[in-house]
């Protein structure tokens, strides 16, 4: 029987990368301590700031919500219903359940309300894979909501495995601009709220175990539209390396953050101006969100000419 390295009680987990066995209680404090460390070292949250968490119903964002609440932060959730059959409703229910347990606010909006169609219909209309529009839409909605409702920070549940897979992709393709921008804390500027990733020092395995011992009910599977995504392939490569050489993921990511500025230079501030339709910061006259909205309105009015007079919200 393995024993907890800290209290000698029966261990429930062994983390190979840290060569440490932990009991339930110390697993919980281990993960929360790492989140605290990430928040502190990357100056993610200032005292008294309200945080808006992008919750999806998965283990990562819901664990983040639990952790930030346990650490004493005022964190509320925002769920964007993408309208994915057999997935979005269950995801919403898991978020609702945790919001009740934490007694924190949970907001919801849906693509159906905003565009009059779900993500799959948008993808069909755009003739692109759903993920191509999804990220931009979610970023826009979250930022706008945060600005209008007094949230200074948007937090997402990206963990170490996510960041390593993004980093590997950026390095393999030498995406220097993306490498400059890959950061656990993107400061607020030009109408963008600060965006933080407090789980970056925790591996997916650590978060999975945290969710289990904290009884966080979550959707078991990821978004069904992510099948075949390159990020899954990069993650499996990183897992194979980690298996042979425990601790690689953390070294890879922390090493990158250390050399990032000297190697890739400072981020060049993009020349942004407010979108002439909605005021969102953009490099073009009209932002991508408004352009998408326009295309959808045109398509709907072509299909239902009688609805042409009815403006979409
Ligand atoms: Fe959106 Fe699903 Fe793609 Fe993630 S995997 S960007 S949630 S469609
Ligand atoms: Zn213990
Ligand atoms: Zn706009």
DSSP state of 72: T
Q: Tens digits of per-residue pLDDT, 249-261? A: 999 999 999 999 8
H or E segment and range at residue 172: helix 160-172
Tell whether ligand 1 has an atom less than 6 A from the beta carbon of residue 241: no
Instruction: Quote the DSSP letter at residue 17.
Output: G
Q: How far apart are CA 104 and CA 260, in angstroms?
A: 36
User: Which residues of the chain register pLDDT less than 50?
Assistant: 309-313
Q: What is the pTM assigned to this prediction? A: 0.94
- Which residues partner with 51 through β-bridges? 75, 153
Segments of the chain assigned to CATH 3.40.50.620: 28-269
**CB 25, CB 6: distance < 8 Å:** no
| Cβ of residue 238 lying under 6 Å from some atom of ligand 1 | no
CATH of domain 28-269: 3.40.50.620
Structure tokens at 308: 């042409």
Share of residues in the chain with pLDDT > 70 (%) = 97
pLDDT of residue 311: 45
Q: Which residues contact 108 (CB under 8 A, 6 or more apart)?
A: 78, 79, 80, 81, 92
Q: Please state, in angstroms and rounded to a whole number, the distance separating the CA atoms of residues 137 and 84.
A: 15
Q: What is the DSSP letter of 224?
A: G
Question: Is any ligand 1 atom within 6 A of the Cβ of residue 223?
Answer: yes
Query: Do 173 and 217 touch, CB atoms closer than 8 A?
Result: no
Q: How far apart are CA 106 and CA 95, in angstroms?
A: 8
Q: What was the pLDDT predicted at 313?
A: 40
Can you tell me the distance from the alpha carbon of 241 to that of 235, in angstroms, rounded to the nearest whole number?
Answer: 10
- What is the distance between the alpha carbons of residues 72 and 95, in angstroms, rounded to a whole number? 19
Among 225, 230, 232, say which to mutate for ligand 1: greatest number of ligand atoms within 8 Å of CB. Answer: 225
């Amino acid at each position: 029987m393995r024993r907890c390295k800290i209290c000698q009680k029966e261990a429930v987990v062994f983390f190979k990368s840290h060569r440490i066995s932990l009991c339930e209680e110390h697993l919980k404090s281990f993960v929360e301590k790492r989140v605290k460390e990430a928040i502190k070292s990357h100056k993610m949250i200032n005292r008294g700031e309200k945080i808006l968490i992008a919750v999806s119903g998965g283990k990562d964002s819901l664990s983040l919500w639990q952790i930030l609440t346990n650490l004493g932060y005022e964190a509320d959730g925002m769920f964007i219903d993408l309208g994915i059959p057999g997935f979005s409703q269950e995801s919403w229910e898991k978020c609702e359940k945790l919001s009740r347990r934490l007694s924190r606010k949970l907001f919801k909006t849906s693509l159906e309300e905003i565009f009059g169609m779900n993500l799959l219909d948008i993808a069909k209309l755009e003739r692109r894979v759903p993920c191509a529009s999804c990220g931009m839409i979610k970023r826009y909605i979250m930022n706008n909501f945060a600005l209008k409702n007094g949230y200074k920070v948007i937090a997402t549940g990206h963990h170490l495995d996510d960041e390593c897979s993004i980093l590997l992709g950026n390095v393999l393709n030498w995406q220097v601009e993306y490498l400059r921008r890959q950061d656990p804390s993107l400061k607020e500027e030009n109408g963008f709220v600060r965006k933080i990733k407090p789980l970056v020092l925790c591996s997916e395995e650590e978060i999975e175990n945290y969710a289990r011992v904290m009884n966080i009910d979550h959707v078991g599977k990821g978004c069904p539209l992510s099948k075949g995504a390159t990020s899954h392939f990069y993650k499996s490569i990183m897992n194979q390396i980690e298996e042979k050489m425990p601790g690689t993921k953390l070294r890879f990511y922390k090493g990158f953050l250390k050399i990032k500025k000297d190697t890739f230079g400072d981020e060049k501030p993009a020349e942004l101006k407010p979108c002439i339709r909605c005021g969102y910061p953009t490099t073009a006259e009209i932002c991508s969100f408004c352009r998408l909205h326009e295309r959808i309105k045109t398509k709907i009015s072509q299909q239902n000419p009688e609805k042409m007079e009815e403006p979409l919200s």
